[in-house]
Structure 1
């Protein structure tokens, strides 16, 4: 099932999705269609339901109500363990404990495991692709470096290479720039743009609550607030001053320069002259 979908194909279709946990409504009435070649951002304040929605889209959580089709498979009617093999995930909290090299971490993407599988030998094509991805992401010189010696930024790029090694039908990124300094963040975002440019048919969903963490290749956005959709669609139509202010319940001004986004505090209205006397 692994492999990119044809451009325009539906990769995800969620309809009227609710998620309830311990009597609390975490997601309410979520509907979204994501097609091959699109790169979505899930944006919202803390507690909005972004990670919950990402876990549904990654087949790690079933909706309480509603329907979700992922890569043509309906949750509740398919083997989720098999489905997950077609989904690449980038988790900054990668729980690796072994002394693997950067190349070996990337190669675990072929088996979908955290560690190298015993008695498993990667195919030469897989090794070649791992090295190609490390080169693409500017990490050729770190291929033999131990994981625990890599910087946080280098680890983030290694995890992107790991997630795309098997050419997954869907790539999910849960706040991949968390904890990175400016240089490391920009290197990571450049890496994402390079991966997307190299595979135009690839599809991804990235969770963030900082617009500065959006790659230039972002095509669509979904704004969440208290588990409900504020707006959903092409990024230019969604990331507006009005909608972002509504989503975060705070007045902000949205700026865009050379494909990158930023949010700044909206200027306060001027105090009437007669009140300053």
Structure 2
């Protein structure tokens, strides 16, 4: 399969502080991939560099066959879906869930003077059904639960049929059932033949999708500890190095889990 994203020797400074150092990684079509690392490791920064919202201090970004800086960025962005759990989405208070989803066609926070076509509304309903929110289409978006909002944002990101879907901590702050509903939604998406490549940014192994094939593990100073096949990257040694505490990794039913022995807690202080 061809590459949808290739990062080569990415470096990034913010206010004289080095956030990322020599990061190289590649994601292929229809792949489930993940960026893992502790808080402050530059995961979210890397995601925003990958889609052109931030410009690297050094290195090269190849996105969907084009090199950033040599292509029309707005055209490429039409082929990329991005959902950020910590971002503020200032949708109009009176927007329904369906209207929020359809606003994704226009990358807008309001429909205002925009007049979506009947076909766009129909497709929006199809996307809501896909994420399990068909019965919430006419409900005000602002009245949805946090987990439902996240699934609605995923539906919004999918309306333009992206080739790459980037998700920054999509299950942050969710309780167990809501987290699993989001993961189930993404797993269901990947089973569709037209599925985009999916990249999830997280610091919890439990939030990885079953079938995650490709993992980039970052240290707290923005360096690559390991990159490649999930089973080779997510080892006790690599995770312990990343998080600075003895971590034991297990795998069950395709899901990874990280464990820290309470006896090691004193070593953290």
Aligned partners of 2:181, 2:158: CA distance in 1, in Å?
Answer: 17
Per the alignment, residue 267 of structure 2 pairs with none
Judged with a 3 Å threshold, the aligned counterparts in structure 2 of structure 1 residues 142 and 76 are, in CA distance, closer, same or farther, namely same
Per the alignment, residue 107 of structure 2 pairs with 112
Partner deviation per Cα, 1:5-32 (whole Å, 9 max, x = no partner): xxx1111111111112222211111111
Question: Normalising to structure 1: TM-score of the pair?
Answer: 0.89
Per the alignment, residue 101 of structure 1 pairs with 96
Is the aligned partner of 1:83 residue 2:76?
yes
Q: Unaligned 5+ residue runs, structure 2?
A: 265-269
Deviation (angstroms), 1:121? 2.0
Name the SS of the counterpart of 2:47 in structure 1.
helix
Is the aligned partner of 1:263 residue 2:258?
yes
Aligned partners of 2:52, 2:186: CA distance in 1, in Å?
Answer: 23
Deviation (angstroms), 1:160? 0.6
Per the alignment, residue 8 of structure 2 pairs with 15
Aligned partners of 1:199, 1:175: CA distance in 2, in Å?
Answer: 25
Question: Normalising to structure 2: TM-score of the pair?
Answer: 0.92
Aligned partners of 1:105, 1:70: CA distance in 2, in Å?
Answer: 27
Deviation (angstroms), 1:201? 4.6
Name the SS of the counterpart of 1:198 in structure 2.
coil
Judged with a 3 Å threshold, the aligned counterparts in structure 2 of structure 1 residues 46 and 119 are, in CA distance, closer, same or farther, namely closer
Is the aligned partner of 1:128 residue 2:137?
no
Aligned partners of 1:185, 1:201: CA distance in 2, in Å?
Answer: 21
Name the SS of the counterpart of 1:115 in structure 2.
coil
Q: 2:172 aligns with which of 164, 170, 178?
A: 178
Deviation (angstroms), 1:46? 0.6
Judged with a 3 Å threshold, the aligned counterparts in structure 2 of structure 1 residues 97 and 37 are, in CA distance, closer, same or farther, namely closer
Partner deviation per Cα, 1:190-231 (whole Å, 9 max, x = no partner): 001011112455112111001111121322110001111000
Aligned partners of 2:114, 2:248: CA distance in 1, in Å?
Answer: 55
Between Structure 1 and Structure 2, how many residues are aligned?
261
CA contact under 8 A between 1:241 and 1:254: conserved in structure 2?
yes
Deviation (angstroms), 1:236? 1.4
Larger Rg: 1
CA contact under 8 A between 2:213 and 2:229: conserved in structure 1?
yes
Name the SS of the counterpart of 1:52 in structure 2.
helix
Name the SS of the counterpart of 1:114 in structure 2.
coil
Matches within 5 A, 1:1-277: 8-92=1-85, 93-98=87-92, 99-116=94-111, 118-124=113-119, 126-199=120-193, 201-225=195-219, 226-266=221-261, 268=263
Name the SS of the counterpart of 1:232 in structure 2.
strand
Deviation (angstroms), 1:164? 1.0
Q: Unaligned 5+ residue runs, structure 1?
A: 1-7, 270-277
